[in-house]
Structure 1
Amino acid sequence: MGERKRESLGSRIGFIFLSAGCAIGLGNVWRFPFITGQYGGAAFVLMYILFLLLLAMPIMVMEFAVGRASQKSIVKSFTALCPQHGVWSLWGYVAWAGNYVLMMFYTVVTGWMLAYTWYSASGRMTGLSPDEVGGAFGALLSSPGALAFWLALAVLIGAAVCFSGLRGGVERVTKVMMCGLLAIMFALVLRSVTLPGAAKGLEFYLKPDFGHLVEHGIWTSVYAAMGQAFFTLSIGIGSMAIFGSYIGRDRSLVGESMIVTALDTAVAITAGLIIFPACFAYGINPGAGPGLIFVTLPNMFNHLPQGRFWSALFFLFMSFAALSTVIAVFENILAGYMDNFGWERGKAAVVTGISVFLLALPCAFGFNIWSGFQPFGEGSMVLDLEDFIVSNNLLPIGALIYLLFCVTRYGWGWEKFIEEADMGAGLKVPSFLRFYLTYIAPFIVLIILATGYWEKFIK
């Protein structure tokens, strides 16, 4: 029996939207504005963009190159390119499992976004007092049945889209979703920047004041910018490599990576244009933490003309951002089943959906019936443990492995990486980057890994 023919994407724009959709998620539309507010606004944004270009984007090029050259998912890609050194293949299985861990909490939070889209559209949040709005979020978290229902809906959407096929499902739906995301963002920005008092928020966000960085400590601010740039693109666990395996060799990978990075950054920065003017217009602290989206902003929408409409639109925007990542990571997981066991797409999608739902239940129950399990001490929960495994371990370790695999002679090697990355029309990898990517970038990733542990357990 011959090997199953590799599926491919139908268009370049489909590849760009899929890759950007994987990168664009809740980290862009919630975490980026939140930590930007925490670390001083525009000066932090400049540092973030610098590290995005210096660190995150080159590793994205490497993921795309490994995927395109191997024509495999994360499970088999290292073995296909470097069969003589089998130790690399171990990371393929760890990273594949890492996609599962990511979905174990990400689908739960996506369910929150879907729930609040419905709550807003149905008028359930309209006219509530500030205490009642806060109580509504608490009621959602304390209900195992409600969380399981919205989790199931998020998983069902992801699995159904992937079940429908690469071109007819994943590519087509992601194109629509990304166009919808960008259109909704544009409408929300226009509404936010025209609120009375919005100018102060724009000044805070767009006018650099490096004194804010000093207030929090230069190193703390630098690390926060470095970490946000690194984690926003979800590099290290093959989430980008899978889409590299679905594209042709007519375009070089540096240019494609720059477009994906630019889209990801544009969404993050635009999210700030939505949130900061609104916060300053209504006297809201932009560093309000997790409650910013689910408690503070719904209160703000209740005071806006047509607030029900704008609230529903905002949470639909959040849902699109979250679901674009869910669909992309589901595709990575089921591609592992297809490559490893030769399964058909339908079977792989069903198994992925059922297994993700069951594995995500501990996170959902961690807010209620299993709240006694506090892995990092009082106030922590299952979600914190799963996020720590992915964000502080798998992503930086995976990025380091991709770096070493592409630059050392014990892996794929620099020459083969460059040959693949530069194939096709477009920008090429500058030769002077070899020294930086071989000796400096791995050191930076190690700093991120070590500092994550320092912040979590020692500081």
Structure 2
Amino acid sequence: MEREKFSSRLGFLLISAGCAIGLGNVWRFPYITGQYGGAAFVLLYIVFLIILGLPIVVMEFSVGRASQKSPIRSFEVLERKGQKWHLFGYVALAGNYILMMFYTTIAGLMLLYFAKTAKGDFVGMTTSQIEGVYGEVTAQPWLMLICMVLVVFIGFGICSLGLKNGVEKITKVMMLCLLFLIIVLVIRSLTLPNASEGLKFYLLPDFGRMMEAGLADTIFAAMSQAFFTLSIGIGSLAIFGSYIGKERRLTGDAISITVLDTFVAVMSGLIIFPACFSFGVEPGSGPGLIFQTLPNIFNEMQGGRIWGSLFFIFMAFAALSTVIAVFENIISSCMDKWGWSRKKAVLINIVLVIILSLPCALGFSVLSGVQPFGAGSTIMDLEDFIVSSNLLPLGSLVYLLFCVTRYGWGWDNFIEEANTGKGIKFPKWTRKYITFVLPLIVLVIFVQGYISKFFL
């Protein structure tokens, strides 16, 4: 059976970017940017994106395109007889499942908050009442389950239509809407009173604030964000490499996706900081910012119900684009490995992903007693830690070593694949850096993830 292909390069770029663009861009990036000195941090982040994220994106695409297989089989096709790289295929597939075990719940919350904002549920509420809504919502097991199941059905429903007619067509529309919405929201945020203070905080390099946070911590935060923002290491991007032809070199596409990912992250800061400063709100971290701080801001803003609805549908698109991309990876792996039809892969995985997502969806209510990292932690924290601090860095290391060492696919094969076609060449002079320095940086990120989790 001939492998499906994307109908257009734009489709490939938007879907790959959709996989990389997730909620970390929107809630984590603005927060840590503010914490580590604004523009000074952004500059560091961009440097690390280029020297750390980009090469690994090109490697994932190369392995996908050369093998024409999903991550579970790509190493099998490219490795030499007797080698064991193919075992990582199972780890990559497991990583995609674990990522979806908590991402489906977060995406469900985005849809729920969109519905609540559009309905006007927050109108007339006090600040503390709005902050309490998040706790009330997550404490309702059936509501959380319904939202999670809805996301699973939407995601697999789109994937069931096929690569071109489902995944490509719908993600393309969703990503273009996301980019349009973010520009509209930025314009609105910049026209708020006192928005200039937020802009100063965000865009003027403040090396004093950076030193206060600690130079080593700032460098590590920029490195981690650059690394995690692209979703590299579990084959989420490799799958899309397997759906493209050999007409273009892969470095140009990797740059386009990195630029889109960075654009969304930077623009999110342009929405959040002016709004926070305009209403005298501390830009808090993580879910609190999205589910507690921002609804309060929209409540005080003229036409806030409309702007709040637009913001949460933008967030839902960011989450769903990742869900669809990862579901496609899972489906393709099942079709490649076990010869299932797309329909069979969809039906089995709907059931499987719903069952696997139950612990996270119920982790705030029925299973709230399970606190893997001590008081106040949730099952979601554990699942996120397994993916972010373990599978992504270690998976990236596997792709790296596979592409640069003679014990794997090897540098020559990688360079030949990456540089097939027209466009920007992957620079050969980077070989020593990529072979010896980059694996060490990835290892440092992995070790630091444990240090900051358990020892700081």
What TM-score, normalized to structure 2?
A: 0.99
1:96 paired to 2:93? yes
Q: Give yes or no for the alignment of 1:312 onto 2:309.
A: yes
CA contact (8 A) 2:251 2:424 kept: yes
Conserved in 2, the CA contact under 8 Å of 1:200 and 1:277?
yes
Q: Which amino acid aligns with 1:428?
A: K
Whole-Å Cα distance in 2 between the matches of residues 99 and 206 of structure 1?
A: 35
Aligned residue for 1:192?
189
Aligned to 1:438: 435
Q: Does 1:235 align with 2:232?
A: yes
2:207 to 203, 206, 210: 210
Is 1:155 the counterpart of 2:144? The answer is: no
Counterpart of 1:291 in structure 2 is 288
1:378 has 2:375 as partner = yes
1:427 correspondence with 2:411: no
Tell me how far apart the structure 2 counterparts of residues 205 and 407 of structure 1 sit (CA, whole Å).
38
* Residues 102-117 of structure 1 mapped to structure 2, 5 A cutoff: 102-117=99-114
Secondary structure of 2:428's aligned partner: coil
Distance 2:137 2:54 in 1: 38
Structure 1 position 74 matched with structure 2 position 71: yes
Question: How far apart in 2 are the matches of 1:352 and 1:210?
Answer: 49
Deviations 1:174-225 (A, max 9, x none): 1000010011111100100000000011111111111111101111111111
Q: Which stretches in structure 2 are left out of the alignment for 5+ residues?
A: none
For 1:263, give the aligned amino acid: L
Distance 1:85 1:380 in 2: 43
Q: 2:351 is matched with which residue?
A: 354
Counterpart among 118, 121, 124 of residue 124 in structure 1: 121
1:414 equivalent in alignment to 2:388:
no
Find the residue that maps to 1:432 and give its secondary structure. Answer: helix
Of 134-143 and 96-105, the range deviating more from structure 2: 134-143
User: What are the Cα deviations for residues 320-371 of structure 1, in whole angstroms up to 9, with x where unaligned?
Assistant: 0000000000000111100001111111122222211110110111111111
Find the residue that maps to 1:192 and give its secondary structure. helix
Q: For residue 56 of structure 2, what is the aligned residue in structure 1?
A: 59
Contact 2:419 2:426 in 1 (8 A): yes
Residue-by-residue CA offset, 1:241-299 (whole Å, 9 max, x unaligned): 00000000000000000000000000000000000100111111113442111111111
Deviation at 1:85, TM superposition (A): 4.2
Matched residues in 2 for 1:296 and 1:15: separation?
35
Q: Displacement of 1:123 after TM fit? A: 1.1
Tell whether 2:217 aligns with 1:220.
Answer: yes
Partner of 2:260: 263
What is the CA–CA distance in structure 2 between the aligned matches of 1:318 and 1:438, rounded to whole Å?
Answer: 37
Is this contact kept in 2: 1:111–1:150, CA < 8 A? yes
- For the 8 Å contact 2:284–2:293, the answer to whether it is kept is no
Percentage identity across paired residues of the two chains: 58
Q: SS at 2:62's partner residue?
A: helix
One-letter code of the match for 2:340?
Answer: W
Counterpart AA for 2:138? L
Q: Deviations over 1:45-90 (max 9, x none)?
A: 1111110000011000000000000000110000100142431111
Runs of 4+ in 1 over 6 A off after TM superposition: none
Query: Aligned partners of 1:332 and 1:449: how far apart in 2?
Result: 24
Among 330, 336, 339, the alignment partner of 2:336 is 339
Aligned residues: CA RMSD: 0.8
Aligned-partner residue type, residue 29 of structure 1: V
Check if 1:50 corresponds to 2:58: no
CA 1:100 to 1:228, structure 2 compared with 1: closer, same or farther past 3 Å?
same
Tell me the distance in 2 between the aligned counterparts of 1:51 and 1:136: 38
Q: Which segment drifts farther, 295-304 or 283-292?
A: 283-292
Structure 2 CA distance, aligned partners of 1:302 and 1:422?
Answer: 52
Task: Check the 8 A contact 1:276/1:286 in 2, yes or no.
Answer: yes
Q: Is the 8 A contact 2:114 2:312 kept in 1?
A: yes
Q: Does 1:403 align with 2:422?
A: no
State which drifts further: 84-93 or 190-199: 84-93
Question: Are the counterparts in 2 of residues 35 and 287 from structure 1 also a CA contact under 8 Å?
Answer: no
8 Å contact from structure 1 (residues 108, 151) kept in 2: yes
Which residue in the other structure is 1:176 paired with?
A: 173
Q: Is there any run of 5+ residues in structure 1 with no aligned partner, and where?
A: none
- Matched AA of 2:262: T
Q: Distance in 2 between matches of 1:302 and 1:379?
A: 28
Q: How many residues align?
A: 456
SS in structure 2 of the partner of residue 375 of structure 1: coil
- Deviation track 1:304-334 (CA, whole Å, cap 9, x = no partner) reads 1111101000000000000000000000011
AA aligned to 2:135 is: G
The two structures have a TM-score, normalised by structure 1, of 0.98
Distance in 1 separating the partners of 2:349 and 2:211: 46
**Secondary structure at 1:290's aligned position in 2?**
helix
CA contact (8 A) 1:301 1:311 kept: yes
Q: Output the CA distance in 2 between the equivalents of 1:102 and 1:44.
A: 27
Contact 2:73–2:336 under 8 Å retained in 1: yes
The 3-state SS of whatever aligns with 2:357 is helix
The question of whether the paired residues in 1 share the 8 Å contact of 2:178 and 2:314 is answered with yes
Instruction: For 1:353 and 1:134, locate their aligned partners in 2 and report how far apart those are by CA, in whole Å.
Output: 33
